[in-house]
Amino acid sequence: MKLQLNAEYLLSKPLTGDGVQKIKKYLAEETKEILVKGVPKDKLSESPRILDSKILDDSISVIIESGTYVRSHAVAIRLKNSLSMLLGKEFKVGIKKVVGKKYTLTLELEKIPKDPINIPFVNNISIQGNNAILTLDDLDEEFLTKNHVDRIINLFYDKVEAQFWGGKGEHWELISKSKEIEPLTTKDPTTELLALGWLKQGPSQGQWFYHAPIATLLRTMERIAVEEILKPLGFIEVIAPKLVPFEIWEKTGHLSGSEPEIYYVSPPISRDVSVWEEVIDLYKITKKAYVDKIRERMRDPIGGMTYAQCPPMYWAFDGKTIDDSEFPVLIYDKSGPSYRWEAGGRQGIERVNEFWRIEPVFIGYPEQLIELKEKMMERYAYVFDKIFEIEWRTAWVTPFYMAQSGQTGIEKETERIKGTVDYESWIPSRGTREESEWLEFQNLSIVGDKYTKAFSIKSSKNKELWSGCSGIGLQRWTVSFLAQKGLDSDKWPKEFKKYLGEFPRQIKFV
């Protein structure tokens, strides 16, 4: 990696002849400490260098070249600080502004991109042999200071790597399998529920109206999750907001890949009826919603509907120091639906735009969460084996927080501790257990300090805090059960029927 930055420092007033000579000498002979700071002792030969400098009346220009360890933009900001002290103390001259006139990033490639790559702020990307040359122009001080360049480098490599993954590029590795269960049906659950009249599609895309019998099944799943998993482990219920501002997603990283699936929310520009009079009158006359007129009266989006329930739950602890006696903090939310725009990916009631989940979130010390994870896996296994009596398996997959931000693979340092475990069920209507696609119906993740750092959540003992979550999809639990057990409740497992109680009657239509 070679990074070459042409940086310009604009001065508050012209330098005198003595000032010019002083700065020339400083740049040529007295910047070693700035250049080597942060470079490993055995890598000093790779320290940044000032290749050239030019001093005019009202500006100082330098060309800085660096490698991996201390990058040119970091050196440019260090130089600004040291030059400011020197110029101010001796010549009463300040630095008004720093500009990265041109920044050329030469990045080594292990794989040559198959297709062109575009990245914001990068004017040009060219491939020369085994190197990629990225060019950026006219960068302000904030851009140079706030790690934007480092993120561009990482993003470029991510985009190259993504071109060599098939499909979503998600990692999958089998962990365990339950015993094989002979299914009582091979029919598709959604098709059967529609035939019974228990479901009605709509009113919007990816939504369902659940009549009383199927609603009872969903609530039964919820009750089993709470009574058999969450309460025994000490989780307590909270109610989290379902409208999430962009500021929260900026911290969680969801805006690095989830944008195509978010339902965005724009508030009205005003509550004043006079602003809306035309829209109201048009409806009164035509009995139609004039979307173009409504759009004219909307503000920019402020955020979106819940994509995942955990971000607002972490936000609730933003900047808080939690007493040591509270760990692990165990909370869950089941207060409302989540929304994802699945477009053409919708399938039955298991893959929808509006879905119902319980989201447990846990915060604590690493050893506490490792122990909790094992206990949760034991409780899940009990439910799926002894209450549902279904066939299921677990797999290590791309962690949800990487998948939701557009990344692939698994955490390099997981060692099977941090990361995501997916639970998958066999859906006989899709084919044989060996060849068909199984349904991911449950996950369990430990995410390390990703969110505790993002939201500045601290322990009163100032020890490292981790967090995790476990999305419990009620529709997917229901499909996993019905796909193997069918709709004849007389044949359902006794332990399940203890929670089910009595089916409500279905409303008759003529």
List residues with catalytic annotation: 310, 340, 342, 351, 359, 422, 440, 443, 469, 476
CA-wise closest residue to 455 among 365, 338, 363, 359: 363
CA-wise closest residue to 477 among 485, 489, 467, 469: 485
Report the alpha-carbon distance of residue 502 to residue 499 in Å, rounded. Answer: 9
Report the alpha-carbon distance of residue 229 to residue 226 in Å, rounded. Answer: 6
CA-wise closest residue to 299 among 267, 264, 271, 270: 267
Radius of gyration in angstroms for the set of CA atoms belonging to the chain, rounded to a whole number: 29
Within 13 Å of residue 152, how many CA atoms lie on the same side as its CB? 27
CA-wise closest residue to 266 among 288, 247, 248, 246: 246
> What 3-state class would DSSP assign to 473?
strand
- The 3-class secondary structure across 218-287, one letter per residue, is HHHHHHHHHHHHHHHHCCEEECCCCEEEHHHHHHHCHHHCCHHHCCEECCECCCCHHHHHHHHHHHHHHC
Contact between residue 314 and residue 455 where contact means Cβ atoms under 8 Å apart: yes
